[in-house]
Structure 1
Amino acid sequence: LKSIGPNIVFALLMDGPQISERWSGRYALTLTEDPGSSVLTMTSMALIERSNFNRPGGSRSIALWRDDTGRAVSLECPKGALGVLLTLSGHRLDELTIDGRQNRDAYAWRYSGHRPISLRNPDEETRTLIRWADPYNN
């Protein structure tokens, strides 16, 4: 590792939709106040469906990206999609410790984009697996 502090944190949560207003978004904000730090909180679509069961039109955000620029991005998984592909880019960053030492090899990770992943023409066996894994999505 060539970093003075954490530069990216992945948090797998058993929680509802990942949006800025929820507790996970607020805690992610605290971690990203450190220069060069980024946080990705993620949860499963099944838990989001459960959370939204009595809430029509609830968020389908399976992940929340937040970085030290203050930017927060919710990654929505639309109906019919099996997941989301996240693209990040590394930006070179000079880090400085409290005693004046420098690290010129550090990277800050930035959000570049995301898109849903789905199958175009799944065969019958694949459709059966999808229905079994996600009964709410059919």
Structure 2
Amino acid sequence: MNQSFGCAVTAHLLAADRFGRWLILRTSRDHSRWQLPGGRAHAGESPRLAAAREAREETGLDLPVGEMLIGAWVPGSPGRRDRMALLFATRTLTPADMDVITLQRREVDAWCMAPPSAESLPAHPLLAERLSVFCRRGPGQFIEQRPFRGQ
């Protein structure tokens, strides 16, 4: 948890292939939910470094962190801290990248390239909302989200 913001900070990468499909990962602990590469920032770690580190840990890919696509404030719910969630762009994935993806099985146990539609992704509702806003409005958005009861 990143104490410098007084809240948890998560950072993810939106990695797409040349066809525009998004790289999504299935969480090991909940097979009904998929996520983008990324995760929680450590204390003192910048969101950009966290996104790159988490993506490398989860997929084995060294992906550069580009522009911020969307930021979201998620107020805490019972038992959960307030959270700042950031989504960054990265480079286009190549067929060679697909050949070397190596999953960190403790956190993710499957991956796929999904059509770029937030509505059809089996993602957490808060992530789906952020992706939907990005798809409708483009990069550089900031939204405030309501806590999801099923977190």
TM-score, normalised to structure 1, is 0.24
- The structure with the larger Rg is 1
Q: Which has the higher helix share?
A: 2
Larger RCO: 1 or 2 (CA < 8 Å, sep 6+): 2
